[in-house]
Every structure is written in structure tokens, then in C-alpha cells.
Structure 1
Amino acid sequence: MRLTDFKVLTFDCYGTLIDWESGMIEGLKPLTSKVQRPLSRNEILQAHARHESTQQRHTPTMRYRDLLAVVYKRLAEEWGVVVSHEDCVAYGLSVRNWPAFSDTPGALQYLKKFYKLVILSNVDNETFSYSNKRLQVDFDAIITAEDIGSYKPSLKNFDYMIETLGAMGLGKGDILHTAESLFHDHKPANAMGLASCWIHRRHQDEGFGATMNPGDLPKYDFRFTSMGELAAAHQDQLRA
């Protein structure tokens, strides 16, 4: 199997293209600065993953920015900090400020020359519009949790994506699903029979950070530590 075998790259956004962990840590500072005991970066991210996953299961139609406001409230309660509703809302809106990984825009611009590029993200449409400006590329389709009414790892999201791409003349065999999260993306991609590419952003860190532990590790067809590395590997295959 080669990267050049595919016609479309479908991307998770947050964690893969956008540095959501750094964005979370920055956005949570008004809360974490008030916690009585020191919290490690991974402790903050793992607590966030736990509350976010729970909320996504229970309220699958809630917009992501509103869902994050609830996550902020649950974290404050867990850590014994009093926060206002306005504090919670502000955290939900902070997603629009989360930075792109430095290698993302250039890699996407390169890959756009060879593939259709598609977003499949656990986000709402308004929030993604801000992130999209940071990615600096025109996507061929943007599919959000708000569009579908459910959050990954629900297979509904992947069914919707496959059906959408089918209308564009693309089949399962044309798709390489490209993502960091083994829990949200690679496990359901396995279940749907999709090839996948792991962008292992956390390769120098332990644990799963802002995503849940996937349990039994899913398989993947390619592994790179950045989008830049993926683009370079594609260039190498063209030269071979």
C-alpha cells in the first residue's frame, strides 16, 4: 500500500491539524490557576478527555462550543473551583484561538495538489470557520458533528462521510483517513474498513492526552509524527 494509491485524504482537525492540547491548556488557565494543588499538563488533558467524552455521549447534538462550556463547569467542580457561567462560555469560545501546528498549512497546500481534502471533525460549523482560516487551504468538503448530530467515535459520522464522498464519485478504497486520535478516528475507521494514517503528534509524550484510551489498539496503514512528515513521504514516493 502506497500513499499515492488514494484520491482523498479525510482529516480529523483538532489534535491533527490544530494544536488542541496547547489550546486547551491556555484556555483553561483561568481555571487551573485557582486549583489548590499543582496539576500536570497530562493530568489536565486526561481530565478534560474524560468529561468531554462523557458529555459527547450524553448530549450528541450539542454544539461543540456549548459542550466545552459544560466541560469547563465539570472540571471546576472536580477541582473545587467556583466559576461563573460567563467563564464557562468563554472557554467554549476559546477554540477559535487554538493554533494550527506550524507544519500544517504548508503540508495541506502541498497535498491539495494531489488529493481531495476533507474535514471530519467533532466541532460546530461556526467554530471551525475560525480554525479554517488558520489552515490556509480550501477543503473539498467540511463535515462536522453539528452536521450529523453525533460525535466521533460514533460510526454514524463515518457513514455520513462515506455517503457524502460517494456523491462525489469516491469510494471507500479511495479514502485515507488521517488523524491523531486512536480513540476517535482509527478505531472507527477500522470498523468501517477504511485505510488510515496515524499522525502521532504525541510521539514524545506518554498516554493519550486529550483523547480517551482506545483500549485494544487499532491498526493503521501509515504512521508519521507530523503533517510535514506525511507530505515529505508523499514526495519521496513520487520520486521512487
Structure 2
Amino acid sequence: MGLTEYRALLIDCDEVLVDRDSGVWSALQPLLESRSGASDRAQILAEYKTVIGALYPRFDELGFSGLLCFAHRQMAERLGIKASWEEGMTFARSVPTWSVFEDAPGAMLYLRKFYRLLVFVDRDAEDRGVLCERLGLVPDDLLSPAAYPIERTDWLSALDIDPRHTLRLSRPPASAMADGGLCLIRRDRADHRQPCPADVCISSMADLVRQHQLSLRR
């Protein structure tokens, strides 16, 4: 299917719209400054993703801030650093300051003229308003992956959306919903040396807008 044939975009918030990695890296600096020697950004972020992934099954119990607080403590333990729960909560409360990618708000403004936009995001209730304001969304546009699993499509019917007309926007590696399309955002230039493993590949949200405009002219 071409870009103009889809009716809904199912967008992963972090690393598509919000620069989560930079936000986490910045928020971890007080902890990393407590250890001797330089810290490798890629290695630290890979370690963090392992930690948060292992904690994720406790999402319903802990909430997003709770997950981040425990992740901070476990990162400290892995690095051999003592850290207080207060420091963990400070790390968790950094989430509203994570920056959005520069082209994301403008791209969302354009795309909503042609698609229904639904954003998968893990955030506590008090942080969702900030996110909506920054991206021009309303609360109903934000979906929790725990409540609306990407592996299933049954919940789409309740939203009057045909899975065949959905395009998921994510970072690699990712898979499409059943019967839907997949658009991968590959910001690293090295990724573009490889063939596109999805229906659509883009380098930025602005690139998606350009590709959509080209599709309209065909």
C-alpha cells in the first residue's frame, strides 16, 4: 500500500517523537559522575534498556515513575555506586523534560490532516498533559502499550479502525500489526546502507511528510 492509502498511524512515542535516549543519558549524569573514568554512552544506554526491559512486567504494579526509580537503583548497583531513593525519584521525574525531536510537532500537525494519529506511550497521568501540549495531541490520542498491545488488533475495532489501513511508526527492530503496514524511522545514516526491511523507511518525521507529499502528487 502507498502512504496515501493508510487511514491511521500508530506511532511509538519514544525514539520516534521523543528523544528518550538523550533524556535518559542526561538524567543519569549525576549518577555517572560518581564513578571514576569516562562512561560510554552506547554501553550505558544498552545497560539501561536491559534493566528497564526486565522491570517492565511490573508496570501495572509500579507505574512508569516507579519503573524508572527502580531502574535507577539497579543501574547504580550494576555500576557499584550508592544511590538513594530520592535520587531515583529525581531521575524518574526527569521524564517531562525529555525533549521532542525538532521536526515532530510540525510533522504531527501536517499528518493529522490525513490520518488518525494514535501514540503508544508509557507515562504517568500527570505527565501526559505536558506531552499532549508539546505534540498537539489530546489525551484520547495516547495509548498505553499495556492496555493496547501492539501484538493484537481486536481493540482497533472499538476505535472504528480497520487493521489493514494502519501504518505503525517505530524504530528498528519492530514489526507491524497483523494485516497492517510498518514504517521504520532510521535516524542513523549507517542504517540506510542496508535495504529497507519495512513497507516504508524514513530518516525523520520531516522525511515522512515529504514522502507523503510526493505520494499525493503521483
Which aligned pairs between 1:41-120 and structure 2 lie closer than 5 A? 41-57=41-57, 59-61=58-60, 62-120=62-120
Identical aligned residues as a percent: 27
Task: Kindly indicate whether the alpha-carbon contact (under 8 Å) linking 2:13 and 2:119 is maintained by their aligned counterparts in 1.
Answer: yes
Task: Kindly indicate whether the alpha-carbon contact (under 8 Å) linking 2:128 and 2:139 is maintained by their aligned counterparts in 1.
Answer: no
**Structure 1 residues 159-217: Cα deviation after superposition (integer angstroms, max 9, x where no partner):** 56x334312321111110111142xxx23x36x34311001134458xxxxxxxxxxxx
**1:163 match:** 154
**2:182 match:** 196
Cα distance in 2 for residues equivalent to 1:204 and 1:163: 37
29 and 121 in structure 1: CA distance in 2 versus 1, 3 angstrom threshold: same
Cα distance in 2 for residues equivalent to 1:66 and 1:130: 19
**2:200 match:** 222
Cα distance in 2 for residues equivalent to 1:118 and 1:72: 29
Cα distance in 2 for residues equivalent to 1:93 and 1:142: 19
The DSSP-based 3-state class of the residue aligned with 2:208 is helix
Task: Give the TM-score taking structure 1 as reference length.
Answer: 0.81
Task: Kindly indicate whether the alpha-carbon contact (under 8 Å) linking 2:59 and 2:67 is maintained by their aligned counterparts in 1.
Answer: no
Unpaired segments ≥5 residues, structure 2: none
163 and 113 in structure 1: CA distance in 2 versus 1, 3 angstrom threshold: same
1:237 maps to 2:215 = yes
Task: Kindly indicate whether the alpha-carbon contact (under 8 Å) linking 1:8 and 1:115 is maintained by their aligned counterparts in 2.
Answer: yes
The DSSP-based 3-state class of the residue aligned with 1:83 is coil
Cα distance in 2 for residues equivalent to 1:134 and 1:40: 30
Task: Give the TM-score taking structure 2 as reference length.
Answer: 0.89
Task: Kindly indicate whether the alpha-carbon contact (under 8 Å) linking 2:105 and 2:135 is maintained by their aligned counterparts in 1.
Answer: yes
How many Å apart are 1:25 and its aligned residue? 1.0
Cα distance in 2 for residues equivalent to 1:222 and 1:128: 29
* Runs of 4+ deviating beyond 4 Å: none
Cα distance in 1 for residues equivalent to 2:123 and 2:168: 17
How many Å apart are 1:77 and its aligned residue? 0.6
How many Å apart are 1:219 and its aligned residue? 4.3
Q: For this pair of structures, how many residues does the alignment match?
A: 213
